[in-house]
Amino acid sequence: MAERTGVGIELADVTKRYPGQAEPAVDGFTMTINPGETTVFVGPSGCGKTTTMRMINRLIEPTSGRITIGGDDALSLNPDELRRRIGYSIQQAGLFPHMTVAQNVGMVPGLLKWDRKRIAERVEEMLSLVGLDPAEFAKRYPRQLSGGQQQRVGVARALAADPPVLLMDEPFGAVDPITRGNLQDELLRLQAELHKTIVFVTHDFDEAVKLGDRIAVLGDQSRILQYDTPEAILANPADDTVAGFVGAGASLKQLTLLRVRDIELGTAATATVGESPASVRERIAAEGRRFVLVLDERRRPLRWVHDRQLGGASLDGAGKPVGDVVSTQSTLQDALEAILTEGGDAVVTGPRGEYAGTVQLDTVVAKIRELREEHA
Ligand code: ADP
Ligand code: MG
């Protein structure tokens, strides 16, 4: 089935006043949300994130302002039509406890009057998409699932009617950090495939950096303090409030946005495990190197050997084994980790584990500097 990719959303001067409140909860919010991107609203509790998000699918009616979705006026669409276009996923999944997983996932297609067979197929497809085996999970009740599994069902349900827009309100807020990391990775994988327009609410800036193509840092009454790419916000926070929210270690956080493939790799002196240590010593001396990376017959890295350790009869077993390696897909943060654990250059391997180059500490530091200057 061809998935529908996202559509743009426009909010123009949108205000929400709750009855009996002196101040509006959201005050004149104006934003263009790009189609097919993940836009994250991040800000402290009570700043108006949920209210702003829920006005997009009209779970909360705006007091004033205009909202368009894919060019259509959201306020004049009927709520069923709106529900078809917008998936919604919330903290603790919001699953109906008395309904099975399959019934939960098939709920919106049911409201849309799809026939039974099509719903059943779609439920299977969605459960597989979020990494749950339909045979095992379809007939279970939410209470028979872990928090992370419930959250996956919540995402499957939100995607079931194939909406171009997905609203996610702190969807991973209630699960443990490891499960949360896994769910985030899965959302990234799904989004790379589906290109929905996702609006994601969180109060966790690191989560925003990981998931967002764009981040809106919000202050009181959903005032937009900064709306930009994670790279730009990390490199150049708009003001002290944003800087405070970004927190310490902004430069290091930037490393999670860069991949090993984005930098020029270094080269190590290499030798094959069958070579004679004496000739290797001669060669690396000529190159002015002190360490050599010994590879196996299929060019997979084995050991780092210092020239002083090249006195034996064989390279086999000399020096110290290569520990942590990184791939070209790894983040520069992973590479930095490897450099620190290994106490030297990180070894980069290709798809078959073959040696591809090295990452040097200097390159990582230079890259951070370059980014800072670019965004300054
Ligand atoms: P966030 O999601 O950023 O934590 P909310 O949008 O839930 O913020 O709330 C924004 C403000 O609006 C808060 O001050 C909150 O107390 C208030 N608020 C939220 N819902 C209601 C409501 N139904 N009635 C009155 N005030 C509300
Ligand atoms: Mg909220």
Non-local CB neighbours of 361 within 8 Å, separated by 6+ positions? 336, 339, 345
Residue, of 142 and 89, whose pLDDT is higher = 142
- CB-based contacts of 264: which residues, under 8 Å, 6+ apart? 363
Which ligand is nearest the CA of 218, by number?
1
**225 C-alpha to center of ligand 1: Å?**
19
Whose CA is closest to atom 17 on ligand 1?
Answer: 25
Write b or e for each residue in 126-153: b if 16 or more Cβ atoms lie within 10 A of its Cβ, otherwise e.
Answer: bbebbbbebeebbeeebeebebbbbbbb
Confidence of residue 3 (pLDDT cuts 50, 70, 90): low
Ligand 1 surroundings by CB, under 6 angstroms:
18, 21, 25, 43, 45-51
Mutate to test the pocket of ligand 1, among 51, 167, 168, 205 (most ligand atoms within 8 A of CB): 51
pLDDT at 58: 92
Give the ligand whose atoms come closest to the C-alpha of residue 41: 1
The DSSP output letter for 57 is: T
Residue 47 alpha carbon, nearest atom of ligand 1: 3
Q: Which atom belonging to ligand 1 lies closest to the Cα atom of 16?
A: 12
pLDDT at 376 over 80: no
Residue 171: the pLDDT is: 87
Q: At what angle do helices 361-375 and 332-342 cross, to 10 degrees?
A: 150
What is the whole-number distance in angstroms between the Cα of residue 105 and the centre of ligand 2?
A: 23
Average pLDDT of the chain, as a whole number: 90
Distance 208 CA to ligand 2 centre (A): 15
pLDDT of the residue at 331: 87
* Ion ligand 2 neighbours, Cβ < 5 Å: 50
Is residue 185 scored above 90 in pLDDT? no
For tokens 């979020």, the residue is: 130
Of ligand 1's atoms, which has the minimum distance to the CA of residue 44?
3
Ligand nearest to the CA of 170: 2
Q: Which residue puts its alpha carbon closest to atom 22 of ligand 1?
A: 18
Q: State the pLDDT confidence band at 31, using cuts at 50, 70 and 90.
A: very high
User: Could you give the 3-state DSSP secondary structure of residue 85?
Assistant: helix
Residue 170 alpha carbon, nearest atom of ligand 1: 2
Vertex 308 angle, CA 302 and 312, to 5°: 70
**What pLDDT band is residue 193 in, cutting at 50, 70 and 90?**
confident
Higher-pLDDT residue of 34, 179: 34
Measuring from atom 15 of ligand 1, which residue has the nearest CA?
46
Q: What is the mean pLDDT of residues 189-209?
A: 91
- 48, pLDDT greater than 50: yes
Task: Give the residue whose CA is nearest to atom 5 of ligand 1.
Answer: 48
- pLDDT at position 279: 94
Average pLDDT over every residue of 145-165: 90
Nearest Cα neighbor of 75 from 95, 96, 60, 93 is: 60
Mean pLDDT, to the nearest integer, of 204-210? 90
How many angstroms separate the alpha carbon of residue 72 from the centre of ligand 2?
26
The DSSP-derived string for 126-176 is HHHHTT--HHHHTT--GGGS-HHHHHHHHHHHHHTT--SEEEEESTTTTS-
State how far the Cα of 121 lies from the Cα of 118, in Å rounded to an integer: 5
CA distance 269 to 257: 29
* Predicted local distance difference test score (pLDDT) of residue 1: 45
- For residues 91 and 175, the answer to whether their CB atoms sit within 8 Å is no
Q: Please report which ligand is nearest the Cα atom of 216.
A: 1
What would the pLDDT profile of 296-351 be if each residue is shown by its tens digit? 999 999 999 999 998 888 888 889 999 889 998 888 888 998 998 888 899 999 98
Q: Find the ligand nearest to 45 CA.
A: 1
Mean pLDDT value across residues 184-208? 90
- 81-99: average pLDDT: 84
Q: 64 with 49: CB under 8 angstroms?
A: no
pLDDT at 343: 86
What is the distance between the terminal CA atoms of the chain, rounded to a whole angstrom?
A: 45
Structure tokens at 333: 């943060």
Closest ligand 1 atom to 222 CA: 3
Percent of the chain whose pLDDT exceeds 90: 59
Q: How close is the Cα of 64 to the center of ligand 2, in Å?
A: 20
Please state the length of the chain.
Answer: 376
CA distance 120 to 105: 10
Q: How far is the CA of 201 from the centre of ligand 1 (A)?
A: 14
